[in-house]
Amino acid sequence: MSLDRRDFMKLTAAGIVIAAFPGCATSSGELVRKKVQRVVIVGGGFGGATAAKYIRMWSDNKIEVVLVERRTKFVSCPMSNTVLGGSRTIGDLTRNYDTLKSKYGIIIVNGEVTAVDPQKQAVMLANGHLSYDRLIIAPGVDFMFDQIEGFSADISANSIPHAWKAGDQTVLLRKQLESMRDGGVFAISVPKMPYRCPPGPYERACQVAHYLKSNKPKSKVLILDANPDIVSKKGLFNAAWKDLYPGMVEYRADAAVKKVDASTRIATTDFEDVKVDVLNVIPPMKAGAVAGMAGVVGTDNRWCPVDFLSYESTLQKNIHVIGDSVSAALPKSGHMATSQAKICAAAIIELMGGSQPDPDPAIANTCYSMVSGSEAMHVANVYRFDREKMAMISAPGGGVSDHRSEVEGTLANYWLENILSDVLL
Amino acid sequence: MKSIRLKTITIACVVGWTLVSAAVFAAPDARSRNLTASCAACHGTNGHSVNGTPVLAAMDKKMFVIQMKDFKSGTRPATVMHQHAKGYSDEEFEKMAEFFAAQHR
């Protein structure tokens, strides 16, 4: 059998030639030839994109950065509840990665990681692999559909959206809200902590109520919370529901949804079956799947333990984890992911240059919740590294707004503009 | 003509060197840079706010420190900044101020 050039290329594409000549596997399967010290980042959300930009910026472009992302566009999850309320469209929250490429020279690979090899220091994609000196895993969260009987990724995409990653499901949920009858019930199921964006479900209740108040005033919002109480900004949310949407928002504690029926829209808790018109089930969460592939998930089988000076995994050398996937008493928010990304970026630059990371990192988080079309309130904290506990702990001060206000609603919009520019421009 | 040109070049070199050394000596360290990095979510990359919030880039060092101390003590009322200011030491305010003062507008 003889191979002509065309056959050879076909076989290479299929991976057969790589297997036939194992000695050449590394060079022939490498998607982008590695020229200098390289960091591969998996996940181009708030954390991953920030790490990419800051490694390039702070290393004077000396370190090569490859960012692997399965989506072609960046969609902001923060503020995406306002798409339900109607003050924004999903398009308003969508950005591209062009500036990261053109201004910072980041290599962007649009694809999905299928495996990670910590020994060979490479991540595998369908059409080849990328070798790394250090790897950053920033996949955000994955959903534990198996914790709720009758629920699945398919059902969430088609009939019971979680809409907990901004995009198609946010739009689907908005459509369901628009076509709901007046007098209907819109139910939001909140998972047990920890989950992405602690105040998010309660903000969502406000945004849905904001829409219903002027469009379907006889309707109700029902919150089925798996937690024993409202987990964030409790007083502020209670006040918003009472003042802005009287009689419209009903809250039930210790009401974890255990089962759903997509055809009848019945949600089952330990105490009751609830039949509703729109069912929005936010499932329990865990670190994104790629964390499992890399072997960096902790003994809880959910989150990734890290060294908070560098965000390097405590389980795998040269693999760092940032953002929602990290196991910590830190809020899983967009701002927090960017703050972690910068400490990680600084540490990687130090480590690659043979020095030690900053021994005393302090990072901040500011999280606004929009409770109407114009008003918001915040929770803000500084977190510092505690050497004895080897953990990030809340610094003195910090806390929530005294009251919701239009000033903070305006600041929330400035926050969005500034953070998106910090991450992507 | 030739000597004037030479003189101009010499002056240019001296001025250039002075600017370079000033930049080197004023360069804030990585610690200052890391501390301020969290501020960017509201105040833009390196303090270059793109809308609404105060631009911190090139802010006078003294002014930055005074304001942070006032937010911390409550002398100056704030919507959000008091929450953050209480989380940092006065020495860290100085570090942050160094970084922002060294940024160009």
* Chain A residues within 8 A of B38 when measuring between CB atoms: 335, 338-339, 342, 362-365, 382
* Banded model confidence at residue A84, pLDDT cuts 50, 70, 90: very high
Mean pLDDT, chain A, rounded, equals 94
Helices A200-215 and A234-244: crossing angle in degrees, nearest 10, is 0
Higher-confidence residue of A370 and B27: namely: A370
B34 and A CB contact within 8 Å: yes
Give B 6-25 residues with CB within 8 A of chain A: none
ipTM > 0.95 for the complex: no
**In whole angstroms, how far apart are CA B38 and each of A333, A339, A380, B32, B93?**
13, 5, 12, 11, 13
Mean pLDDT along residues A208-219: 98
Minimum-distance CB partner of A378 among B33, B80, B86: B80
Number of A to B CB contacts under 8 A, please give it. Answer: 119
Q: How far, in Å, CA of B50 to CA of B36, rounded?
A: 16
Q: Which residues in A have their CB inside 8 Å of a CB on B?
A: 54, 58, 335, 338-339, 342-343, 346, 350, 358, 360-366, 378, 380-384, 395-399, 401, 405, 407-408, 410-411, 413-415, 417-419, 421-422, 425
* Banded model confidence at residue B7, pLDDT cuts 50, 70, 90: low
Mean pLDDT along residues A15-23: 36
Minimum-distance CB partner of B52 among A338, A384, A414: A414
Note whether B31 contacts A422, CB cutoff 8 Å: no
Kindly tell me if the per-residue pLDDT of A39 is higher than 90: yes
* Chain B residues within 8 A of A78 when measuring between CB atoms: none
Note whether B52 contacts A417, CB cutoff 8 Å: yes
Note whether A411 contacts B34, CB cutoff 8 Å: no
- Give the pLDDT of residue B28: 82
B45 and A CB contact within 8 Å: yes
Q: A377 Cβ partners below 8 Å, 6+ apart?
A: A233, A236, A368, A369, A371, A400, A401, A403, A404, A405, A408
Minimum-distance CB partner of A364 among B38, B50, B51: B38
Mean pLDDT, chain B, rounded, equals 84
**Which secondary-structure segment (H or E) carries B31?**
helix B30-37
- Give the pLDDT of residue A21: 36
* Banded model confidence at residue A183, pLDDT cuts 50, 70, 90: very high
Instruction: Walk me through the domains of chain A, giving residue ranges and CATH numbers.
Output: 1-30 (no CATH), 38-143+286-424 (3.50.50.60), 149-282 (3.50.50.60)
In A, minimum Cα distance to B96 occurs at A362
pTM of the model: 0.90
Note whether A343 contacts B34, CB cutoff 8 Å: yes
Note whether B51 contacts A417, CB cutoff 8 Å: yes
Q: A64-74, pLDDT tens digit by residue?
A: 999 999 999 99
Kindly tell me if the per-residue pLDDT of A378 is higher than 90: yes
> Half-sphere exposure of A47 toward its Cβ, with a 13 Å CA cutoff?
25
Share of chain B above pLDDT 70, in %: 74
Q: Which residues pair with A268 in a beta bridge?
A: A259, A273
Minimum-distance CB partner of B83 among A346, A358, A380: A380
Is A255 in contact with A269 (CB distance < 8 Å)? yes
Higher-confidence residue of A92 and A23: namely: A92
B65 and A CB contact within 8 Å: no
- Give the pLDDT of residue B26: 52
* Chain B residues within 8 A of A346 when measuring between CB atoms: 30, 33-34, 37
- Give the pLDDT of residue A13: 43
Residue A269 identity (one-letter amino acid): T
- Closest-CA distance, B24 to chain A, in angstroms, reads 15
Probe site for chain B from A382, A407, A420 (most B CB atoms < 10 A): A382
- Closest-CA distance, A137 to chain B, in angstroms, reads 20
* Banded model confidence at residue A207, pLDDT cuts 50, 70, 90: very high
Note whether A399 contacts B83, CB cutoff 8 Å: yes
Kindly tell me if the per-residue pLDDT of B3 is higher than 60: no
Q: A83 Cβ partners below 8 Å, 6+ apart?
A: A89, A90, A93, A166, A170, A171, A174
Note whether A335 contacts B41, CB cutoff 8 Å: yes
Q: A120-145, pLDDT tens digit by residue?
A: 999 999 999 999 999 999 999 999 99
* Chain B residues within 8 A of A408 when measuring between CB atoms: 79-80
Q: How far, in Å, CA of A425 to CA of A150, rounded?
A: 42
Q: How far, in Å, CA of A369 to CA of A234, rounded?
A: 12
The residue with tokens 């191979």 is A3
* Banded model confidence at residue A240, pLDDT cuts 50, 70, 90: very high
Kindly tell me if the per-residue pLDDT of B93 is higher than 60: yes
Q: How far, in Å, CA of A194 to CA of A328, rounded?
A: 9
Higher-confidence residue of A42 and B2: namely: A42
* Banded model confidence at residue A116, pLDDT cuts 50, 70, 90: very high
Mean pLDDT along residues A191-211: 98
Note whether B80 contacts A380, CB cutoff 8 Å: yes
Q: A284-343, pLDDT tens digit by residue?
A: 999 999 999 999 999 999 999 999 999 999 999 999 999 999 999 999 999 999 999 999
Euclidean distance between the first and the last CA atom of chain A, given in angstroms as a whole number: 53
Kindly tell me if the per-residue pLDDT of A2 is higher than 60: no
Instruction: Walk me through the domains of chain B, giving residue ranges and CATH numbers.
Output: 28-101 (1.10.760.10)
Q: A167-177, pLDDT tens digit by residue?
A: 999 999 999 99
